[in-house]
Structure 1
Amino acid sequence: MKKLIEEKCAFLFQGVGPEYQKFLHLLGEKEQGLLKHYCTIANKEIGLDLWSYLFEFSPTKYDKMFNDWIAIYTCDYIVYHAYTDLGIKPDILLGYSMGLITAMACGKSISYEAGLQMLLTIYEYPKYFSRNNEAMSVIVGMTYDDVDKIIRGNKLEGYVEIASENNEYCIIISGIKKWVDRVMSIAVDEGALKVKDINAPYAFHSRHAAIGIERYIELVAKLEVLDSEISIISSFNQDIIKTSDELKEELVKNMTSRMYWKSSIEKIVDIGINNFVEVSLADSVTKFSKLINTDSKFVTYKKMLKLKSLAEKVIA
């Protein structure tokens, strides 16, 4: 625990992820109190009874996917403050897809409420336009070049794109579902270890996500975005950004641009930061990020709770 407090850390924020109901037991009394507070705000801002959804599995006026988006955003926002309350503070932030919004809220460039409105607009904007059946999937056990060869070799460049290189052997693809499924099938035939659909209704991080994006761009343009208190590294070009204008540009890129997650982790290591803290109740980002640089240390919330418990026993 002491080393985490004293050494430089990068905080990592996940995008879409697991159902959070099974992780709520990890939140202490203080964190559950904060969760109740922010659930009240979510209900007021966007009419989502998040507390009842999380603890009673109650249906809401939104679908399950959006409920889970807000659960992840809210709980991760609370986890961030649990870390900082213990003295574990970031030197740089890195958000994976939707995690950029959480990172900006934690860096105080946007309010928690603004993050809710942004996620709601992302959820809604594609619905107002005629679009193709879209999908996202992950391919494990193949490199970027392997997957790119499948796409180009089958002349699918206009239908399927690489959305992210998570690590050397974990690639996200995005595009028209029929052809995403085709790429996955070919990948299995050619030796992929695993292929899996991602729970996303649109082809984010590809040109297909630009259909109808105008409503989102309008929201970003009028949104109050301050300079971040903590630098954020771009998962698109690895620039280190902090100003309001840079962050607004990043929010738009976050919809349609390919992520270079592997390069982003490598850039953080290059600038002298080797400790990574996952700001979530799960460990999804850690699972694929720790394979990028095996010399780096990764801490999850669950691991932090164990370290905290050990420290308290030593003091006692």
Structure 2
Amino acid sequence: MDKVAFIFAGQGAQYAGMGKELADNIEASKKIFEEADKALGFEISKLCFEGPKENLDKTENTQPAVLTTSIAALKALEEKGIKPDFTAGLSLGEYSALVCSGVLNFSDAVKLVRKRGRFMQEAVPEGVGTMAAILGLSSEDVREICREASSLGIVEPANFNCPGQIVIGGEIEAVKAASEKAKEKGAKVMPLSVSAPFHTSMLKPAADKLEEELKNIELGNVKTPIITNVTADYVGSTEEVKELLKKQVMSSVLWENTIKRMLDDGVDTFIELGPGKVLSGFVKKIDRKVKVVNIEDMKSLEKAVETLNSQER
């Protein structure tokens, strides 16, 4: 192996039962769930392990639940002696990457993302905003359809996930108009069941509230190079982090360029930590030749360790 990147899942990957096997079998993972329960003042562990789904899917619960499961998976892998050369996370996953990098303390992070989830939920009244995935168009085409539809309201690119998959968000009528324009250009459009148009300028109220919360958070130094969603470039110093996290809530997630940057810097193995395999799919669409493994339970952990040990580092 040349270089390894740890990448962390975002919101939408959650499911009832996530993290339970790791907590049942690995002491370091179990301790993360216990730490989260204590920090939050309620049993997020029980919500992760048992659901119910409707509670797990509430944004203010989803965000700490996914973060906790992701860091539990990280601790399981660290016990195997595997460390990253680089790290990044998609949207919410960037907070897991910051914990991995040593910038954020886990207890602070889990409390912060619960508030972040609430702020994002409250930023736009229900029934005002929406999101849609545009499949099959270039980033230039998507920017163009957003510009054309913006006479009807706010509509912006929210996530550049991988080639041919870009998510847009904004006010309902404008998103519908942009979606129709995308179909005219031959794209497939998938409306997303979300509570707000995340990563658009409509989330500025959430960004402002998050900025206030971040004032109370003490940050550590960057120990593992981390690439941020906002710029698809490395975080140069701790001083940049709070402003980047504020911007991240209301800016496009540049995930495709984040992965390309790591590929350019010699990463040949990506390890997705946390629930699901969404990011693994994105990476494969960006470069089919790289090695991608995910870790979310004991079977995937064992398979990942076996795969990594079979390659010489």
Which bin holds the TM-score, normalised by the shorter protein? 0.7 to 0.9
Query: Residue in 1 aligned with 2:249?
Result: 255
Q: Deviations over 1:171-219 (max 9, x none)?
A: 01121133223323443454223514053x2222211110253221011
Contact 1:188-1:195 at 8 Å conserved across structures:
no
1:183 aligns with 2:173: no
Task: Tell me the distance in 2 between the aligned counterparts of 1:118 and 1:11.
Answer: 21
Task: Tell me the distance in 1 between the aligned counterparts of 2:10 and 2:17.
Answer: 18
Which of 100, 103, 106 aligns to 2:97? It is: 103
Which of 286, 302, 305 aligns to 1:305? It is: 302
Amino acid at match of 2:303: K
Secondary structure of 1:222 counterpart: coil
1:141 aligns with 2:136: yes
1:69 aligns with 2:67: no
Shift in Å at residue 129 of structure 1? 6.1
Shift in Å at residue 297 of structure 1? 1.8
Task: Tell me the distance in 2 between the aligned counterparts of 1:19 and 1:150.
Answer: 31
Gap change, CA 1:269 and 1:60, over 3 Å in 2: closer
Which of 38, 47, 51 aligns to 2:45? It is: 51
Task: Tell me the distance in 1 between the aligned counterparts of 2:285 and 2:74.
Answer: 23
Query: Residue in 1 aligned with 2:5?
Result: 10
Amino acid at match of 2:212: E
Which of 286, 289, 300 aligns to 1:295? It is: 289
RMSD of aligned alpha carbons: 2.9
Which of 76, 94, 98 aligns to 2:88? It is: 94
TM superposition score normalised by structure 2: 0.85
Query: Residue in 2 aligned with 1:173?
Result: 168
Task: Tell me the distance in 1 between the aligned counterparts of 2:272 and 2:226.
Answer: 15
Instruction: Name structure 2 gaps, 5 residues minimum.
Output: none
Gap change, CA 1:193 and 1:251, over 3 Å in 2: same
- Comparing 180-189 with 160-169, greater Cα deviation is found at 180-189
Q: Deviations over 1:59-116 (max 9, x none)?
A: 8988633322222110100111222221221011111111111111122211111112
Contact 1:163-1:174 at 8 Å conserved across structures:
yes
Alignment of 1:126-165 (within 5 A): 126=120, 131=125, 133-156=128-151, 158-165=153-160
1:237 aligns with 2:231: yes
1:78 aligns with 2:79: no
Shift in Å at residue 58 of structure 1? 5.0
Shift in Å at residue 307 of structure 1? 4.8
Contact 2:16-2:56 at 8 Å conserved across structures:
no
Shift in Å at residue 256 of structure 1? 1.3
Q: Deviations over 1:135-193 (max 9, x none)?
A: 23322222212222322233448511001211120001121133223323443454223
Shift in Å at residue 294 of structure 1? 2.2
Q: Deviations over 1:248-286 (max 9, x none)?
A: 222112111222211111111112222211112321111
- Comparing 269-278 with 295-304, greater Cα deviation is found at 295-304
Amino acid at match of 1:254: Q
Contact 2:85-2:224 at 8 Å conserved across structures:
yes
> Percent identity at matched positions?
25
Contact 1:26-1:281 at 8 Å conserved across structures:
no
Gap change, CA 1:130 and 1:230, over 3 Å in 2: closer
TM superposition score normalised by structure 1: 0.84
Alignment of 1:257-276 (within 5 A): 257-276=251-270
Contact 1:35-1:74 at 8 Å conserved across structures:
no
Which of 17, 27, 47 aligns to 2:22? It is: 27
- Comparing 145-154 with 279-288, greater Cα deviation is found at 145-154
Shift in Å at residue 55 of structure 1? 3.1
Task: Tell me the distance in 1 between the aligned counterparts of 2:150 and 2:304.
Answer: 51
Task: Tell me the distance in 2 between the aligned counterparts of 1:78 and 1:158.
Answer: 41
1:224 aligns with 2:218: yes
Task: Tell me the distance in 2 between the aligned counterparts of 1:266 and 1:49.
Answer: 38
Amino acid at match of 1:13: F
